[in-house]
Structure 1
Amino acid sequence: MGTREVLKVHKEKQPNGKIFEKWEMGSYHWRTFNEIDRRVNMVASGLKHIGHPDQGSVVLFAETREEWMTTALACFKRAYPIATVYATLGEEAVLFAFKEVAADTIFTSEALLLKVRKAMQNGAKIKNIIYFDSVDPGKKGESIESDDPYTLMSFEQLLAKGEENPLPKVNSISKKEDVAFIMYTSGTTGNPKGVLLTHENVIAAQAGQAECIPVSVGDTYIGYLPLAHILEVCGEIVCLAKGVKIGYSSEQTLFDRAPKILKGQKGDCFVLKPTLMTCVPAVMDRIYKAVVDEVNSQNQLFRELFRTCYERKRSRYEEGYTSYLLNYLVFNKIRVMLGGEVRAVLSGGAPLNPDTQRFMNICFCCPVVQGYGLTETCGGGTCGEIDDISTGYVGAPLSSCVIRLREWKEGGYSPYNEHPQGEILISGKNVTQGYYKNPEKTKEDFIELDGTRYFCTGDIGEFREDGALKIIDRKKDLLKLSHGEYISLGKVETNLLTNPHVENICVYGDSDKSYVVALVVANQKNVTTMAENLGVNTSNFEKVCKNKKVNEALLKELQNHASGKLERGETPQKIFIVHEPWTPASGLLTEALKLKRKNIENTYKKELQAMYSS
């Protein structure tokens, strides 16, 4: 496992008074598998020495880093259930998870200690807090107090205690039925749910997933998605099982133009040169827009040349050919953005726009393999084949699970349609036993059919003749308009998100109306350029977004963008332009960057009503 050193953190004051951090980065420092195993045993011994009870839960509330996975491996060995909590969860959700688990010991990062202390002030009972040192060399020890009424120690201090007081044998004592994770979902509505995943669930999912993408000891995987997300956990466990080295990163330092990379410095991908990575669609949409913006900023001759090369390579790619000359002249220069060595990208967590998938294939010269799974199925469901060049499909069921389609008459989906369709039900040894301390929700989401227990995903799927699955809708995202037609809000959003003027979008519909509207988070750079071309004063971006001429121009732009991709009834007829980005911290996105529809609708209730009343 490798961690990149942060040499110095520079503070840059912005015109609006905000302070942005820019990191001066060094090299990756590596630990061998033997060294990691030694640290794992030291953590296990250290936990025993400080009095953590047998079978007692441990909370992991920290960003993605080597210490997170090292701690998890120690807990696996000693049969300590791990409660994973997103580092970006709001205070209320963090408090809920802490109280529900009631763990004696929590592992967190130095930067999150204030959140932990606040939760304790509000009733969370924690005996031992182990913190990972700040990555900022200038901030180490800044948040530490010595008179706390609980055990507080650094991760390094815990390792030292484990080394001084080693267990006679640190063999794995876990049984297959023991709980490995209580994995708290980020949740699009209400409090997060704790999904119970046993060691059998984890191994079954890993066995099925490892068959999909051939990985070997020579590969390098870049870990940057939250380890509280099942997709990242699955990716890293498969890599560890195959002897693949993992270099840690974050979305803030992934690329040369990432928010925390100091100008002139290189991002983690360039330095690490990974061969494998996982992505959620939101990240790939950002990569897509970044490349499009870069191309559009060039002169007309360059833009035409790029478009011609892109279309030529796409034509050859879809016929099964490789374009070595075009790669050498054009696309290898773009490929360097991901380090230049990536041979496969695994996409999961949400549907990926087919245009974005094909763009990644062509510009980054590697397959994008879509998978489908949920926290409740330990990330296991389906996975595409690395040689499948089609778009929009998430592959065939993994060998460790069974998928069944259930008829949904109201939506017109049936396994007996020309192409089998219906709600996706998943069974197998990778499927959770249920939700932690939530029997009502467990009863609601799990059913038994023909003697087999299934998890009801709420997603609508369609099987291709060769057994590959396509996610075509989500039940709760389907809206019936006044004329009786169903609209898939997710489908509309996925298509419009690829427009360079759109940073994010939430489509909304009133069942008593005949059309949908949209809240559009504007891409500041491109919408400002649009406003300048319209002769609008751009000194205040909030006023730009409220300008009627800009609104009309952006609406027309989106309707043109949707032409040929969406039906007229699916295309928003009115929009409200949002000037501030949506983030997990604002409560409008989940930690997996999915929309929290109810929160968004409540926040913009007045604006949504105005669009339908005007």
Structure 2
Amino acid sequence: MSFVFPGVSPRKSSPPKRRRNNNRRNKTFSQVTSSSKLSPCRLATMKLKEDLNPMLLLLFHLMVWIYTFITFLPSYLLSWVSSPEGDSYGSEAERAKRAKARSVLGRPEGPYRAVSAMKRLVTSLHPGMDTLDKMFEYAATRFPRRDCLGTREVISEEDERQSNGKVFKKVVLGEYRWISYEEVLTAAAQLGSGLASLGQRPKTNIAIFCETRAEWIIAAQACFMYNFPLVTLYSTLGGPAIAHGLNETQVTHIITSRELLETRLKAILLEVPRLQHIIVVDSTPTSWPSYARSISVHNMAAVQKLGAKPENAAHEHNRPLPSDIAVIMYTSGSTGIPKGVVISHSNIIAGITGMAERIPNLCEEDTYIGYLPLAHVLELSAELVCVSHGCRIGYSSPQTLADQSTKIKKGSKGDTSVLQPTLMAAVPEIMDRIYKNVMTKVEEMNCIQRTLFILAYNYKLEQLTKGYSTPLCDKLVFRKVRSLLGGRTRVLLSGGAPLSAATQRFMNVCFCCPVGQGYGLTETCGAGTISELWDYSTGRVGGPLVCCEIKLKDWVEGGYRSTDKPHPRGEILVGGPNVTQGYYKCEAKNQEDFFVDENGQRWFCTGDIGEFHQDGCLKIIDRKKDLVKLQAGEYVSLGKVEAVLKNCSLVDNICAYANSDETYVIGFVVPNQKQLLALAEQYSIRGPLEELCNSKAMEELALKVLTEAALTAQLERFEIPRKIRLSPDPWTPETGLVTDAFKLKRKELKKRYQDDIERMYGGK
């Protein structure tokens, strides 16, 4: 599973002609900021001219000048004191000149290594800590009494009926309750011993099918400690995919939750003949009804109690070797049946070593919020990085993350407000939602408020490009926006899907913390690149981590070569100790995607297309599987089209589609409900959301808005969808149309919209 990021046009072409746009005055702020061609000052001026007469405009310019003059010295001093280097990092131009990586052999194709790892790749965080059980025991020895894992208490639950008749469950949550590192180690040891008492054997696979929660990590540590290879399955996988993973790995024991047992697992038990024991992480109920084939169901607490008995506590650990399998991680299946990626202890140790090196001042004072799927390599790696440094992890979910989240009762606090995390990982889907919500609120402000916000936004953006911080501006203007994530976030890591330049800039400005973009895959333990946190350039994913190296392979069919100017381009190959053992029981695919070079180093062929810049930073510009050749011979990168159009405020999600037998691109669009209703109101079109989405008139109006956004972002004419289908239902992992990381499942989307594809291409 790749962390893919937006790039530039994959083809060399003449620059598009400058278009005269007479509708520029009517653009929303969020639409304007999606264009990287406009300067900050230009953005502010455009908006001010819309709203203010010349006298007021002059007054505001004067205010900005006075503000800049008054705050320059204290801002400069504060940024000097707060900088870990003792001075400013310098302008974007200066930062771009600093080498992050170099080609080891001096060739344009690489391999490229981080400057700090030119002599050798780094494989471990601490000497001798070469397996995951040793790593956690080391942390528990250093930080025995410190908080490790935290969960919020559920105070009350109630059903809330919406105006459309739908019922949503709302919760009121209390404070976080914490267990220490020492307590987690004891709980894991007891669980591992209890599993052994139930017949689980070393080097025999055991599955976990559970939501992200503290018990997940405790169970994982138990398996690492007792050398039980852990098979991870997404909690949103469908029945056939779950049965496939369990049967392929021949598990006899599975760890799950009460909800997933009742809603997902129960229905497929007859299809998994080897399964004998189900361990439920919930404490209630304490007794379970009989299931198919007399499968035994146990509470996790009961298994721990069994393991704590003196006669069982003496179970020999049979400690793992670095080369032993730690995890068989099933991908989310964006291209078909999920594949199990075989990951050794040494692979994960190397991967988290590389990630940790890019997070400055990581220590036991940090708090991380865990809410992404732990069955995803990004979340698992991030949490292991945290526990290796003694950080505390508070658990959450996308439905309870913020005060405005769907499951939080109005007036009560979401998880970020209570936890106030300093570290956070996010997929761009969540960042895009925050960005659009804030920008919508900005547009609803009165003229004076909106102008002040935009002035502050562009002032700070300009200061960031010069390498300066704006502590006073952060406190006076952006404190409320920053409080959406708790107010203390100092590092945001983004991975899993494309992050647009507009969203990245917004997060940097409004949340007052750097956003580190990364590139990695399940097959490389999530490790590949992470941008330096002081590098505010957009569209790039940084240089290689210290645990791996990257080289480019010519893809002649696609027209990418390492000899291309001004930057070498090609398919990205990742090599190093973090490259995994391959796919479980899939030898043909292993030979296709993995190889070992003459030096014994293992490599993975990603299928992504990248280019290296002079400073050693990688930019993802295409993907083999997303590239479609139209009938007239033009190549279209579907991922690029989607990344651009998701910046449009009308779009919540979009899937571009193209058939090689046709001459144009089409698209399936999940519209933003508020924006769509406003568009309908503007043209006096009435009706509920579903009726509007099925309206031909609304399709045409929405297409017009999308086309304007595409032209503003300078997409080529052949890249712009000519027809679209509006979908009233959002695409969630539960619908099976996107993965848990919100990557599009193109095969499933094509199946869902097959009739619309035929209609839009003239077949119906």
Question: Where do 1:486-565 residues align within 5 Å?
Answer: 486-538=635-687, 540-565=688-713
The TM-score, its normalising length taken from structure 2, stands at 0.77
Q: Which runs of 5+ in 2 are unaligned?
A: 1-148
Shift of 1:174: 0.5
Q: 4+ runs of 1 displaced by more than 4 Å?
A: 169-172, 448-452
**d(CA) in 1 for partners of 2:231 and 2:250?**
10
Structure 1 residue 34: deviation in Å? 0.7
Return closer, same or farther for 1:246/1:534 CA change in 2, 3 Å cut-off: same
Corresponding residue for residue 581 of structure 1: 730
SS of the residue corresponding to residue 9 of structure 1 reads strand
Alignment map for 1:268-283 (pairs within 5 Å): 268-283=415-430
Query: Bigger CA drift: 583-592 or 421-430?
Result: 583-592
* Structure 2: distance between partners of 1:438 and 1:187: 15
Aligned mates of 1:294, 1:463 — CA distance in 2? 38
Residue in 2 that maps onto 1:346: 493
* Distance in 1 between residues matched to 2:431 and 2:669, nearest whole Å: 19
CA contact under 8 A between 1:76 and 1:172: conserved in structure 2? no
**In structure 1, the residue corresponding to 2:656 is in which secondary structure?**
strand
Please state how far the C-alpha of 1:102 moved relative to its aligned partner.
1.5
Aligned-pair distance for 1:78?
0.8
Question: Which residue of structure 2 lines up, in the alignment, with residue 50 of structure 1?
Answer: 198
Whole-Å separation in 2 of the counterparts to 1:143 and 1:434: 40
CA RMSD of aligned residues (A): 1.7
Query: By how many angstroms is 1:143 displaced?
Result: 9.4
Q: 2:720 aligns with which of 571, 576, 582?
A: 571
Letter in 2 for 1:346: L
- Give the partner amino acid of 1:331: F
Query: Of 163, 167, 174, which aligns to 2:320?
Result: 174
Counterpart in 1 of 2:280?
A: 131
In structure 2, which of residues 290, 297, 309 is the aligned counterpart of residue 152 of structure 1? 297
Q: Give the counterpart of 1:310 among 429, 432, 457.
A: 457
Q: Deviations over 1:292-323 (max 9, x none)?
A: 12222322332232222211111111111112
1:443 Cα deviation after fit:
1.5
1:88 aligned partner, one-letter code: T
- What's 1:333 paired with? 480
Q: Indicate which of 352, 361, 365 corresponds to 1:206.
A: 352
Cα distance in 1 for residues equivalent to 2:435 and 2:443: 12
Q: Does 1:34 align with 2:182?
A: yes
CA distance in 2, matches of 1:6, 1:376: 37
Q: Take 2:301 and 2:269, find their aligned partners in 1: how far apart are those partners? A: 23
Whether the 8 Å contact between 2:246 and 2:272 is mirrored in structure 1 is no
* 1:592 corresponds to: 741
Q: Distance in 2 between matches of 1:368 and 1:35?
A: 33
Relative to structure 2, which stretch is displaced further, 151-160 or 105-114? 151-160
1:329 to 1:106, Cα distance in 2 relative to 1, 3 A: same
Select between 518-527 and 263-272 the one with higher mean Cα deviation: 518-527
- Deviation, structure 1 residue 94: 0.9
2:588 matches 1:431: no
**1:490 match: secondary structure:** helix
Q: Which residue pairs with 1:369 in the alignment?
A: 516
Q: Which residue is equivalent to 1:137?
A: none
Deviates more, 1:160-169 or 1:68-77: 160-169
Contact 1:93/1:192, CA 8 A, preserved across alignment: yes
Structure of greater relative contact order (alpha carbons < 8 Å, 6+ residues apart): 2
Report the counterpart of residue 265 of structure 2 in structure 1: 116
Alpha-carbon displacement from aligned partner over 1:137-186 (angstroms, at most 9, x marks no partner): xxx42994257712211111112112224423775701011100000000
Residue 45 of structure 1 and its aligned partner are, at CA, apart by: 1.3
Q: Measure the CA separation in 2 of the matches of 1:448 and 1:71.
A: 33
Distance 1:86 1:346 in 2: 21
Q: What is the aligned partner in structure 1 of residue 214 from structure 2?
A: 66
Unaligned runs of 5+ in 1: 135-139
Displacement of 1:90 in angstroms is 0.9
Q: Give 1:25's match in structure 2, choosing from 154, 173, 193.
A: 173
d(CA) in 1 for partners of 2:237, 2:230: 17
Q: Confirm or deny: 8 A CA contact 1:222 1:276 kept in the other structure.
A: yes
Assess if the C-alpha contact under 8 Å between 1:98 and 1:124 holds in 2.
no
AA partner of residue 195 (structure 1): V
Which of 236, 240, 248 in structure 2 is aligned with 1:88?
236
Q: How does the TM-score come out when normalised to structure 1?
A: 0.96
Contact 2:579 2:602 in 1 (8 A): no
User: Contact (CA 8 Å) 2:370, 2:379: kept in 1 or not?
Assistant: yes
8 Å CA contact 1:77–1:170 kept in 2: the answer is no
| 1:450 Cα deviation after fit | 4.8
1:172 to 1:225, Cα distance in 2 relative to 1, 3 A? farther
For 2:588 and 2:286, locate their aligned partners in 1 and report how far apart those are by CA, in whole Å. Answer: 44
Secondary structure at the counterpart of residue 733 of structure 2: coil
Give the number of the structure whose alpha-carbon radius of gyration is greater: 2
Shift of 1:125: 2.5
Equivalent residue for 2:541, pick from 394, 397, 401: 394
CA distance in 2, matches of 1:462, 1:54: 44
Partner secondary structure for residue 411 of structure 1: coil
Query: 464, 467, 470: which is aligned to 2:616?
Result: 467
Aligned to 1:244: 391
Aligned residues of 1:41 and 1:170 also touching (Cα < 8 A)? no
Hey, what does 2:343 align to over in structure 1?
Answer: 197
SS of residue matched to 1:46: helix
Does the CA contact (< 8 Å) of 1:406 and 1:423 recur in 2?
yes
Deviates more, 1:274-283 or 1:477-486: 477-486
How far apart are the structure 2 equivalents of 1:485 and 1:449? 36
Deviations 1:10-58, CA, capped at 9 Å, x for gaps? 1123344432111110000001111111111111111112221222211
Mapped to 1, the partners of 2:466 and 2:655 lie a distance apart of: 36
Q: Give the letter for the 1:150 counterpart.
A: I
Task: Output the amino acid matched with 1:411.
Answer: G
Cα distance in 2 for residues equivalent to 1:171 and 1:152: 24
Q: Quickly say closer, same or farther: Cα 1:191–1:66, change in 2 above 3 A.
A: same
CA–CA distance in structure 2, aligned partners of residues 535 and 147 of structure 1: 57
604-613 vs 249-258, greater mean Cα deviation: 604-613
Separation in structure 2 between the aligned mates of residue 482 and residue 416 of structure 1, nearest angstrom? 28
Q: Which moved more, 1:42-51 or 1:260-269?
A: 42-51
Q: Are 1:496 and 1:561, in contact at CA under 8 Å, matched by a contact in 2?
A: yes
Shift of 1:458: 0.5
Cα distance in 2 for residues equivalent to 1:123 and 1:323: 58
How many correspondences in the alignment? 608
Query: How many Å separate the matches in 2 of 1:512 and 1:50?
Result: 58
Please state whether the residue corresponding to 2:712 is helix, strand or coil: coil
CA contact (8 A) 1:396 1:468 kept: yes
Aligned-partner residue type, residue 605 of structure 1: Q
Instruction: Please give the secondary structure, in 2, of the residue aligned with 1:399.
Output: coil
Distance 1:287 1:181 in 2: 33
Amino acid at match of 2:640: K
Shift in CA distance, 45/142, structure 1 to aligned 2, threshold 3 Å: closer
Distance in 1, matches of 2:369 and 2:686, equals 43
Q: Give the Cα–Cα distance (whole angstroms) in 1 for the partners of residues 463 and 510 of structure 2.
A: 13
Residues 152 and 177, structure 2, Cα contact 8 Å, conserved in 1? yes
AA matched with 2:160: E
Alignment equivalent of 1:357, drawn from 498, 504, 514: 504
For 1:112-148, what per-residue CA distance to the aligned partner results, in whole angstroms no more than 9, with x for missing partners? 11222222122343111111217xxxxx429942577
